[in-house]
Amino acid sequence: MRYLYSLLFISLSVSIAFSQSMPPGTYTSTNKKAIKYYEESKQMFQVRKDIEAEKLVKKAIEEDPNFLEAHSAYGQLLLSKNRIKEAITIYEKAVQINPKIFVENHYYLGVSYLNEAQYEKAIPCLETIIKTERINPTIKEEAARYLKNAKFGADAIKHPQTFKPINVGAGINTAEFEYFPSINRRWQYFLFTRNIREGEGVTAPRQEDFYVSKKVNGVWQTANPITSVNTLGNEGAPSLSADGEIMFFASCMEMTGDYGSSDRKGYGSCDIFYAQKINGKWTKPHNAGPMINTRNWETQPSFSSDGKTLYFIRGIAGRGDIQNPDVYSSTIGEDGKFSEPIKLSDNINTPLGEESVFIHPDNQTLYFSSEGHPGMGRLDIFMSKRQADGSWGKAINLGYPINTVAEENSLLVDANGKLAYFASEREGGFGGLDIYQFELPESVRPEKITYVKGLTYNAKTKVPVDASFELIDLETQQSVTSAYSNSAGEFLVTLTSNHNYLVNVSKPGFLFYSDNFSLKDKAADYNKPYQLQIPLQPIDTGIIELKNIFFDVNKADLKAESKAELQKIITFLKANPTLKVEFSGHTDNSGDKVFNKTLSNNRAKAIYDYVIEKGPIPAANLSYKGYGDTKPKAPNDSPENKAKNRRTELKVLAK
């Protein structure tokens, strides 16, 4: 695990650990023995003999308890070893001796306080650095950033979130490291990464592999490795598609490495791969390709529930570390290929590191870990909401004690938005990192969603058929998702509740299908998906009721909500250029029959005119007619039946 600000300690602190001094040739001490021990300690430190250096600098302090240079040097030596609590004691003494000679001591003391979550104490130390004119500009810049963390942490502790983490149990967690959870929608299995030390001793290499646990009677059972995916290399950070049939994950190997799988070739240090589940088993993984993967570090994928967008982390692979990891996204185009990835805005990414990205099934809420936004320290977990214009909103810290001075990452939020999972190395676990679950606070929950389950089939034979489908938000006219039903005619997608949707389904050789449904008055329940039965009419037999063409009462002006449906008609007619069709209008039996026939005719003509103008579609292929109330679908004996009779249709006249 990384230590807070350790890179700054290495790049600034250690390099000057024994360089602070008064004017040349002078010290704050006149004790010759103390100076001798101090200078000998300095020599030991320069040749990396830290044990000897510590013994000597302690002797210098014993000889002169007010020897400021010795205190400062000893404090920085302790920081280089991440002995933070001991460093605090030394720096407190140094500042007490003289707060003005070595002002940088306030900085090191403030950062040490941050490491120990002593936020209130850190604030005045860091403010002292910012107010000091002559000081290392890098230290001053870092102090300003750390001051934001100190103030955030001090306030967050005063306003804690309700947080009761529960270990998910011995079926998943062990004395090893478990992290990056992923659960399929039906809660049948729990997929995660386990990091195991292979051999005895702390220097033995570690191996990352996938394990899966099934739930029986509410208890996760002993997890087993996924042998068809695991290799001698490292696999981690799995992400499942909404239907649980596709898994994206990261795998790390050399550029042309082969770790037990002939197709596990990579472009760089870590690449993103995917596998599909067929007949209950995962296929051999395939590389996501050069658009996603580069010579750098690509990892921690999260696949959106609409099956369109892959979010992932990309960092620059350096010598022994990963520099500036950021969140990227890539969208699958109509050609089925990933687009050029884009780095998300600075509401998400910072000059420091971002990790553990997770797009919730609502496709509106993004969770990620960051060390660049103001937080409690190290990696904190944040949330961002998608805005009306498609951009990502300001990052919101999940708060204390979900976030602490330690690292928090690999968050997963279930479909109903109430239960979250994350990895933590806290007391009371089985050892190492364990996976915990907790109830997510209301303020950082995603949008409420439900699932829509559809079946596409031949209306004449009742045989299931695969088909392309699209779901559109009727209010915004924006496509929410588009994909294909499988060979059994089934599809499963997530939708945000409290919206009205248009569904379009098409397949060559069939008339397109059009309908709409409302989730506005339905409570979101991801356990009970909304059911859609979609009969597709063979192209030579059918009449399509245009359920998504809308008019105001007693008017023939097309409403804006009709646009998506009209475009679907145009696309269908262009794909079938020899087809002859009639647009027909119908009313119920209320009111004047002459008026009704005229109204139905004008509505049919409005569609006809739009298609000819916007298509353009040859007028010779089209006709229109108003039938008034002469062709009812149902008896005009109730408001519901009358609503069925008020309709427009597309009728095939000839192929």
Q: Which tokens in the block code for residue 163?
A: 């947080």
Q: Are residues 69 and 99 in the same domain?
A: yes
Collapsing DSSP to helix, strand or coil, 77 comes out as helix
- Domain boundary among the residues 413, 444, 475 is at 444
The closest of 482, 489, 487, 486 to 533, measured between CA atoms, is: 489
Q: Are residues 32 and 110 in the same domain?
A: yes
Q: What is the pLDDT of residue 517?
A: 87
Residue 1 lies in a domain: no
Q: What is the pLDDT of residue 263?
A: 57
Distance of CA 492 to the CA centre of its chain: 20
Highest mean pLDDT among 243-252, 417-426, 582-591: 582-591
Residue 423 lies in a domain: yes
Q: Are residues 186 and 328 in the same domain?
A: yes
Q: What is the pLDDT of residue 18?
A: 41
The per-residue DSSP string of 145-158 comes to: HHHHHHHHHHHHHH
- Domain boundary among the residues 420, 444, 468 is at 444
Q: What is the pLDDT of residue 593?
A: 94
pLDDT digits (tens, 9 = 90+) for 278-325: 888 888 888 999 999 998 899 999 999 888 899 999 998 765 567 789
Query: Taking 80 as the threshold, does the pLDDT of residue 242 lie above it?
Result: no
Query: Taking 90 as the threshold, does the pLDDT of residue 524 lie above it?
Result: no
Domain count, the chain: 4
Q: What is the pLDDT of residue 199?
A: 67
Q: Are residues 250 and 336 in the same domain?
A: yes
Rg of the chain over Cα atoms, rounded to whole angstroms, equals 33
Residue 616, domain CATH = 3.30.1330.60
Q: Are residues 271 and 403 in the same domain?
A: yes
Report the alpha-carbon distance of residue 45 to residue 70 in Å, rounded. 13
Q: Are residues 409 and 467 in the same domain?
A: no
Residue 164 lies in a domain: no
Q: Are residues 377 and 251 in the same domain?
A: yes
Q: Are residues 153 and 176 in the same domain?
A: no
Collapsing DSSP to helix, strand or coil, 85 comes out as helix
Query: Taking 70 as the threshold, does the pLDDT of residue 643 lie above it?
Result: yes
Report the alpha-carbon distance of residue 395 to residue 417 in Å, rounded. 18
Q: How many CA atoms lie within 13 A of 258 on its CB side?
A: 3
Determine the average pLDDT of the residues in 117-134: 94
Query: Taking 90 as the threshold, does the pLDDT of residue 474 lie above it?
Result: no
Residue 493 lies in a domain: yes
Select the more confidently predicted residue: 266 or 467: 467
Query: Taking 60 as the threshold, does the pLDDT of residue 5 lie above it?
Result: no
Query: Taking 70 as the threshold, does the pLDDT of residue 33 lie above it?
Result: yes
Share of the chain above pLDDT 70, in %: 91
Q: Which residue(s) pair with 182 in the sheet?
A: 191
Q: Which residue(s) pair with 282 in the sheet?
A: 277
Residue 648 lies in a domain: yes
Q: Which H or E run includes 322?
A: strand 322-331
Q: What is the extent of the structural domain holding 627?
A: 543-655
C-alpha angle 432-438-441 in degrees, rounded to nearest 5:
135
Determine the average pLDDT of the residues in 531-540: 90
Q: What is the pLDDT of residue 306?
A: 81
C-alpha angle 262-267-268 in degrees, rounded to nearest 5:
115
Query: Taking 90 as the threshold, does the pLDDT of residue 476 lie above it?
Result: no
Residue 438 lies in a domain: yes
- Domain boundary among the residues 158, 182, 217 is at 158
* Secondary structure in 3-state letters for 409-475: EEEEECCCCCEEEEEECCCCCCCCCEEEEEECCHHHCCCCEEEEEEEEEECCCCCECCCEEEEEECC
Q: Are residues 502 and 579 in the same domain?
A: no
Whether the CB-CB separation of 69 and 19 falls below 8 Å is answered with no
Report the alpha-carbon distance of residue 631 to residue 138 in Å, rounded. 81
Report the alpha-carbon distance of residue 364 to residue 242 in Å, rounded. 15
Query: Taking 50 as the threshold, does the pLDDT of residue 3 lie above it?
Result: no
Q: Are residues 132 and 174 in the same domain?
A: no
Lowest mean pLDDT among 65-69, 313-317, 539-543, 576-580: 539-543
pLDDT band at 261 (very low <50, low <70, confident <90, very high): very low
Residue 46, domain CATH = 1.25.40.10
Residue 334, domain CATH = 2.120.10.30
Q: Are residues 502 and 601 in the same domain?
A: no
Greatest Cα pair distance, the chain, in angstroms, is: 116
pLDDT digits (tens, 9 = 90+) for 172-208: 999 999 999 988 766 678 999 999 877 666 666 788 8
Mean pLDDT over each residue of the chain, to the nearest integer:
87
Residue 385 lies in a domain: yes
Q: Are residues 22 and 75 in the same domain?
A: yes
Q: What is the pLDDT of residue 206?
A: 80
Q: What is the pLDDT of residue 264?
A: 67
Q: What is the pLDDT of residue 351?
A: 92
Q: Give the number of other CB atoms < 10 A from CB of residue 90.
A: 26
Query: Taking 50 as the threshold, does the pLDDT of residue 371 lie above it?
Result: yes
Residue 11 lies in a domain: yes
